[in-house]
Amino acid sequence: MARHLITSALPYINGIKHLGNLVGSQLPADLYARYLRARGHEVMFICATDEHGTPAELAAAKTGEAVADYCARMHAEQARLADGFGLSFDHYGRSSSDRNRRLTQHFAGRLADQGYIREVEEAQVYSHADGRFLPDRYIEGTCPNCGYDKARGDQCENCTKQLDPTDLIDPRSAISGSTDLEVRATKHLYLRQSALKGDIAAWIDTKADWPILTTSIARKWLNDGDGLQDRGITRDLDWGVPVKRGDADWPGMEGKVFYVWFDAPIEYIGATAEWADATGADDAAWRRWWRLDEGAEDVTYTQFMGKDNVPFHTLSFPATLIGSGEPWKMVDYIKSFNYLTYQGGQFSTSQGRGVFMDHALEILPADYWRWWLLSHAPESGDSEFTWENFQQSVNKDLADVLGNFVSRITKFCRSKFGEAVPEGPAWGEAERALIDTLTTRIRAYEANMAAMEVRKAASELRAIWVSGNEYLQSAAPWTVFKTDPDQAAMQVRMGLNLIRLYAVLSRPFIPFAAEAMLGAMGAPDAAWPDDVAAALEALPAGHAFTVPDVLFAKISDDDRATWEERFQGARA
C-alpha cells in the first residue's frame, strides 16, 4: 500500500464556481483519489476555499456583509456543492483558518531568517474616494499602447501588454470609478525568487515525467525576458493574514497583510492540519504527510490545477518551501489542464454565461455532469461544452450503454428466474472469451488511471461497458431461454456479475450510480477486480438482488433547448 497526498487548486471564495472551474482541478483530482483508494492505497485528499484578497472584500460589500461572515457563508455553500458532486475530500478547509495564519507567518519568518525577504519602498495608487490603496487590477484607464479604454493597472486585456498603474492614461478606481487618485509611497515585503532561481530550475529539471503543459509554462516564467522576478508578498488591505515574522511583530509592516498568492498555497498544509484538528488527531498525524523528517519520505504528492495556476505552483510555492530551509514535502507531479469553453465562447461568472455548479445539480444528478466533464477533460487542449454534445454523450454512453444493460438483465432475470442469481452450467467459450477481453481492457484502464490520462481512461471504461452489451446481444438469453433455460440462466448469471464488476470499475467516474448498482446487487463492499475471472464469480447462484430504478434518463430535445436558452447569458 502506497501513500498519496492529493491537492486540487483552491477555488476562490467570491461566488459559485462554473463547470470549467470544476473540471480544471477538483473533479479530476477526485477521480484519481477515488481510484487510488479503490486499489487499497492510503490517500489524503485536500482542498479549501481561497478567502483573502480584494475580490473577497468587494463581494462582501455588494451583499452588505462583513467579509468574514461572507466568507463563512460562501465556504459552507461551496462545501455543500462539492459534496453534491461527490468530491471525496478528506478535508475541505479555509485559507482564513487559524492554522493557515500561523503557518503563513511561520514561513515568512523562516524566509526572512534565510535572507529571502527584502523590504521595498514603492509607489502605489491611493484612492481618496475609496479610502484605500488600490491593487493594480483595480485601477482602470486607457492603455498607452493600443488605446483600449478598460485596461487594468497590471495588464491590458486587449493587447496583453504588461503595465504599471502609472502607465495608464486617465486612470480611475475600478471600485468606485473615482479619478481622485494619488500616488503614495509605501513599504512592502518581497520574496527574493530571483535568488532561488537556480534551486527551482534544478528541481524542475528532475521532473521529466511532468506534462508538457506544466513544464512549458514553468520554463517560460523562469527564462523569458529577465527571468524569475522577486515578487511582493504583502498588501495594504484589512482582510488577510496579518504580517508577522513568526510570532513576532514586523516593524514597519503594521496594518498590512500577506498577499493572497503567498498564503493560499500554504493552506494545502494548513487544511491538512485542520483535518487533524477536526478528527481529533495530533500534529504528528498531519506532519507525516508534509515533513520529510517526520514520515513523509514515502508520500507521493500530486497536484491538480488549471494552467493559469501553474506558475504559482511550479515557482512561487516551491520558492516558499525551498527558501524556508526546512524539510517540507515538495510536489512530485502536477497534472495541469487547459480551459473548458462554453458554446463557442467563455464561461462568464459576471454575466452568468454557462452552467454553474448549483444550477447543474438543480437540473440533473451529479453523475451526468461528472461523466461528460471527465470524458471531455481539457488535457491536450481546450475543450468545448455544447448542449448537443452533452445530450448525445449522456444518452449514448450512460443511458443506452450502461443504463440499458443494467435494466435489461435485471428485469429479464426477475421475470424468468426471480430476484436471485440463477445457476446454470459453468462458463462456456463465449464467456471465457469475454473474460479475456475484459481482463485486457481493465488492465489498460488501470494503466490510464494510474497515469492520470483522464480521457483515455473514460474511453476504456466505456469500451468495457460496450463489451458486456455485445456479449448480451450475442448471447440473447431471452431467445435461448425458450429452448435451453439452463444456458440462459448461466448467461444471466454472467450479466448480473458484470453489473457488479461495472459498478466497481465505474465508481471513480460515476460514484452515485455505482453505489446504486452495488446496492441493487447486494454487494456494497465489492473490491477491485485484480482477478477478473474471480470477480465474475463473486455473485453465486441464489444471491439475492433487486431491480434498480432507472440509472440514467435520456435528455430530450425539449430539455436541451430549454437549458441552452436558460444558460446563454444573465445568471438567473
d(CA 188, CA 128): 20
d(CA 560, CA 558): 5
CA angle 213, 217, 221 (to 5 degrees): 170
Check whether 143 is labelled as a binding-site residue. yes
Q: Which residues of 452-485 are buried (b: 16+ CB within 10 A; e: fewer)?
A: bbbbbbbebbbebbebbbebbeebebeebbeeee
Q: Which residues of 524-561 are buried (b: 16+ CB within 10 A; e: fewer)?
A: eebebbeebeebbebbeeebebeebeebbbebeeeebe
CB 236 within 8 A of CB 252: no
Check whether 47 is labelled as a binding-site residue. no
Q: Residue 519 burial by CB count (10 A; 0-12/13-18/19+): exposed, middle or buried?
A: middle
d(CA 451, CA 269): 25
Helix axes 511-520, 485-506, angle to 10 degrees: 150
Check whether 156 is labelled as a binding-site residue. yes
Coil vs helix vs strand at 359: helix
Check whether 71 is labelled as a binding-site residue. no
**312: its cell numbers:** 504559482
SS3 breakdown of the chain: % helix, strand, coil, rounded to 5?
50, 15, 35
CB 170 within 8 A of CB 142: yes
**420: its cell numbers:** 436471485
Nearest CA among 240, 206, 265, 218 for reference residue 8: 265
Give the type of residue at 552.
F
d(CA 396, CA 398): 6
**469: its cell numbers:** 452489451
Check whether 413 is labelled as a binding-site residue. no
Annotated binding site: 143, 146, 156, 159, 349
Annotated binding site for Zn(2+): 143, 146, 156, 159
Annotated binding site for ATP: 349
